[in-house]
Amino acid sequence: MTTQRGDGAPPALELTPMSPQCGDVVARAEHACIGISPFNSYFSTERIRELAVWGLERFARVDFFVPDAPSAFTFEALGYSPERAAWKARRQGQYTRNKIRTALTGLGVVEPDDRILGWAELDGNAAFTRLHDRCRELYDGDKGFRGACQEAADWALSGKLPDGSTPSEQQVECAVRYFLAELPLFVDTPAIVGAGASVFCYHQPPDVLRRLYGRELVLHPAPGQGFAVVAPLDTARWN
Catalytic amino acids? 37
Closest CA to 187 of 233, 224, 216: 224
The answer to whether residues 175 and 80 touch, using CB atoms and an 8 Å cutoff, is no
Q: How many residues does the chain have?
A: 239
d(CA 134, CA 162): 34
The DSSP result for 124-177, as a single string, is T-HHHHHHHHHHHHHHHH-HHHHHHHHHHHHHHHHTTSPTT----HHHHHHHHH
Phi-psi region of 228 (alpha: psi -120 to 50; beta: other; left: phi over 0): beta
